[in-house]
Amino acid sequence: MYYYIKNSLEKTDKLVLEGSNGKFVAVLTSAEWLECKDKFDMGIEMDIDLSLIHSTKAEVNYDSLTGTFSIPDRTNISSPNTNFAFALDEKGIVFIDDSGFVDSLIGNIINSKRWAMPSIERFIYDFLEQIVFHDQFILQRFDKELDTIESNILEGDEKDPSINVSRIRSDLRDMRIHYEQLLDFSQELEENENDFFNEDNTRYFHLFSQRVSRLHDLTNSLRDYSIQIRDLYQSQLDKKQNRIMTLLTIITSIFMPLTLIAGWYGMNFKFMPELEYKAAYPIVIAASIGIVIISLLFFKKKKWL
């Protein structure tokens, strides 16, 4: 797929690299790139193995800018990333992608963008914006999910949330790393070491850096929130265990004197005057009830109950 950057992206069947046709955008598979990379004359030997891409980065060469993208799947962040590469010079940019991901982003740009002042910088900005377009909503969804878990913990309805919280933390970690790489990427573009970009238009890369920085900060805040929720659950669990231990201690304290009485009168010595006293049994019952009542009143006064 070949496009010229006009007031919008204009698709063309044949790309003319010489002349005043304007900056171009090309989307090729890795096989197509190997077949026709020489005609782009970017002065680099770029043999692409998309399976070996693990990060988003940009590298400055003598007469080109090359790099890779590794994009988490927003619908399932823990699944394998979508990987593609690019090469850029003063004439335009070539994407090398076997997944169809770049085509979908460019399709979104064609359907939604019209430029009063078209430029390669504005196209790259819109392309990068498409990558993070839904991220604010995704992070808000994580925030709501964590809020729900916290509310359930405080209400005592939440079972062990460790699996859900761990999943969210893992996804947020992957997104944080992705944003850090995008920040480095956009700052490399903003540096404009090879003067491929109009100096006035590098503001687009600065704007993108600011947006990604905000997403990165929000991701960090949500990760901290997930840690707080884990600590909250552990605190609630400790409180519940403490209540159980307190109750067991109180029960034990109440029954200790009763056990002593039962043990005392269970010895059956021959000469125990209480054994022949008719009121002895009711007295022992009354004494036992009195011990229980006095113990409960004592524990209540000490606010142990």
Model-wide pTM > 0.85: no
- Domains along the chain with CATH numbers: 1-116 (3.30.460.20), 246-301 (1.20.58.340)
Q: What is the dihedral of CA 222, 227, 232, 235, to 10 degrees?
A: -170
Task: Read off the tokens for 199.
Answer: 């100096």
% of residues, the chain, pLDDT over 70: 91
State the average pLDDT over residues 63-82. 89
Q: What's the pLDDT score for residue 21?
A: 65
Angle at 189 between CA 186 and CA 195, to 5 degrees: 165
3-state DSSP helix/strand/coil % of the chain, to nearest 5: 60, 10, 30
The number of angstroms, rounded, from the C-alpha of 132 to the middle of its chain's C-alpha atoms is 14
- Residue 53 gets the label, from left (phi > 0), alpha (psi -120 to 50) or beta, of beta
Residue type, position 232, single letter: L
Q: What is the dihedral of CA 68, 56, 183, 185, to 10 degrees?
A: -20
State the average pLDDT over residues 239-259. 79
Asked if residue 146 lies in contact with residue 169, where contact means CB atoms within 8 angstroms, the answer is no
Strands 9-12 and 92-96: unpaired
User: What would the pLDDT profile of 254-287 be if each residue is shown by its tens digit?
Assistant: 788 888 777 777 776 666 666 667 777 787 778 8
State the average pLDDT over residues 168-196. 91
